[in-house]
Amino acid sequence: MKISVLGCGRWGSFIAWYLARRGFEVTSWGPEEDFSYQILKQTGRNEYVVLDENIRLTCDLAKAVKSAEVIVISISSQGLRGFMKKVMHYHVKDKVFVLCMKGIEDHTGKRLSEIMVESGVDPQKIAVWVGPGHIQSFVKGIPNCMVIDSESESLKRRLADSFGSDLIRFYYGEDLIGTEIGAAAKNVMGIAAGALDVLCPPLKGPLMARGAREVSRLIKAMGGDPLSAYGLAHLGDYETTLFSPYSHNRAYGESIAKGETFTKLAEGVMTSKAMKYLGEKYGVELPITDAVCSVCFGEGDGETRCRNAIATLFSRPTVSEWEE
């Protein structure tokens, strides 16, 4: 299997490293002007992995797309639509696309697989690869479980069976809507967790319970299986997102509560905006999401925004635990 990984940042470089170790013929692509590409080109490594000598590194998008049977995309989720306009210039009718990224388009509420279909890709040739795990742990040989989902039963089974190893155990996803929404939404909960680490750590337990319940309501309203919120893509990813020191989203929430600046990508920021939009569209109450959105986009200092968000949540009317 010839695989091209488009995007050579944190996850992209790891995926290329992992798939090369699995014995696949791998090409790693990044924009020539991008720092992540330049550091790999100049040093053969980054802060996460050493580039396998069998991986072909290139900044030629046409070469990367044309040479692959399977194209893995690992870029910022908000840039996917624009990026696919470039990719679709090449003949991709027979290509399989695997999205190894988590997010929802902020101004449309579209899932990433929906953006791919709107870009002209056959839905039967699209899969998503999500779930718990941190590169820093994987490269130390610490295993974890992940999930591959697709509208195509045969595609998700072929990919999961081919990509699995003693480092990553894959499961077959059963609900593409729930898998994608759950994977994106856990980053929103990660931001909340970071703020609570600073201001009120005991509330992280209720956050896990109420967060998963909130996401299950949204998934159901969108036509997915609400139980998906309790699977690997969402609740199963809480440890690596709500507790791990490697979590960018948790660190982002912590930085806001401390009044500090966080410079790395935290996908949960724009996802909170997208989920707020979806909640309004489908008539679903998402109080934690709304609170995180107010923290990310509100005015005033970060600690005050966080404390106000907690106060707003605590002032909500009392209801049955399973009512909302």
pLDDT in tens, 250-290: 999 999 999 999 988 899 999 999 999 999 999 999 999 99
Mean pLDDT estimate for the chain: 96
- Say whether pLDDT at 113 is over 70: yes
Angle among Cα 134, 140, 143 to the nearest 5 degrees reads: 60
Annotate 224-263 with b (16+ C-beta within 10 A) or e (fewer): bbbebbbbbbbbbbbebbbebeebbbbbbbbbbbbeeebe
- Say whether pLDDT at 98 is over 90: yes
SS (H, E, C) the chain: CEEEEECCCHHHHHHHHHHHHCCCEEEEECCCCCHHHHHHHHHCECCCCECCCCCEEECCHHHHHHCCCEEEECCCHHHHHHHHHHHCCCCCCCCEEEECCCCECCCCCCEHHHHHHHCCCCHHHEEEEECCCCHHHHCCCCCEEEEEEECCHHHHHHHHHHHCCCCEEEEECCCHHHHHHHHHHHHHHHHHHHHHHHHCHHHHHHHHHHHHHHHHHHHHHCCCCHHHHHCCCCHHHHHHHHHCCCCHHHHHHHHHHHCCCCCCCCCHHHHHHHHHHHHHHHCCCCHHHHHHHHHHHCCCCHHHHHHHHHHHHHCCCCCCCCCC
Give catalytic status of residue 186 as yes or no.
Answer: yes
Instruction: Provide mean pLDDT across the span 94-114.
Output: 97
Query: Residue 321: what pLDDT?
Result: 85
- Say whether pLDDT at 111 is over 80: yes
Is the Cβ–Cβ distance between 297 and 251 less than 8 Å?
no
Banded pLDDT at 322 (limits 50, 70, 90): confident
Query: Residue 264: what pLDDT?
Result: 87
144-150/126-130 β-pairing: antiparallel
Instruction: Provide mean pLDDT across the span 232-236.
Output: 97
- pTM of this structure: 0.96
For the stretch 24-81, pLDDT in tens is 999 999 999 999 999 999 999 999 999 999 999 999 999 999 999 999 999 999 999 9
Alpha carbon of 144 to those of 42, 63, 168, 190: distances in Å? 31, 33, 5, 19
- How many percent of the chain have pLDDT more than 70? 100
Select which of 95, 110, 156, 186 is catalytic. 186
**Residue range(s) occupied by CATH 3.40.50.720 in the chain:** 2-172
For the stretch 136-171, pLDDT in tens is 999 999 999 999 999 999 999 999 999 999 999 999
**Residue range(s) occupied by CATH 1.10.1040.10 in the chain:** 176-314
Domain 2-172 matching CATH 3.40.50.1110: the answer reads no
CA–CA distance, 25 with 194 (Å, rounded to integer): 39
Domain 176-314 class, CATH top level: mainly alpha
Q: Which residues pair with 91 in a beta bridge?
A: none
Query: Residue 324: what pLDDT?
Result: 63
Instruction: Provide mean pLDDT across the span 204-220.
Output: 97
